[in-house]
Structure 1
Amino acid sequence: MKPTAVLVNTARGPIVEDAAIHQALAEGWIAGAALDDIEEEPSKQRGWRPTNPLFQLPNVIVTPHAAYYSEEAVRTVRTIAAEEAVRVLTGRPARFPVNELKVGSRPSRGG
């Protein structure tokens, strides 16, 4: 990445190592970072304290792995989930299937 680049990670925190991104930012290898989580999601740690060195850098934005969140997004997700359940339970195909299994078919067992 060039020195003017900004790294944006909206996926899982461990995709970017905290120490590596800290070094890249502190030494000016890249200009900034926007992270929707850090390497170890803080809420999963008992007694967590904000000691991650990334929090001290002025060229970093960290959100609590909830950057998608809005009242509208929550309402939309719930509506889509309910509509999909009704579709499948009434014999219609799902609009957003995770796989393409046909009704009554079984997944293969390895191989």
Structure 2
Amino acid sequence: MLRETERSANITADLQVDAGRCWLDLGRPALATRALDEGLTLLDPARSRTRAVFQVVQADSALRDHDLERAVSHAHTALETALVTGASRCTDLVRTLIPRLAAHANGAPHVAAFLDTAEQRLQTA
């Protein structure tokens, strides 16, 4: 029974993140954030690669919502998770965020610091 409960939670987590992506596509980042947060809360901790993908989507949502601190936080967590797990798909997804974050680096030291860290960390990936 526990396995069925875990499977159900993972399916619900995946559906919530898919809903979050849909909300992003519809230009509704606040609704996307709620769905993404719920999806990550439900996600089995053992699914760390999936978690990194979800965190990139969270970073995208935050960036579209003009919340640079949250975007950087999620991008940083996704990057670290991707590097630890060796998930090249995730590092590629983080790379796609970098130019968009770079557009905000002037006057945002936390963005510039993340970009420096990401550049250094991704050179070894």
TM-score by length of 1: 0.28
The structure with more strand, counted as a fraction of residues: 1
Max radius of gyration: which structure? 1
TM-score by length of 2: 0.26
The structure with more helix, counted as a fraction of residues: 2
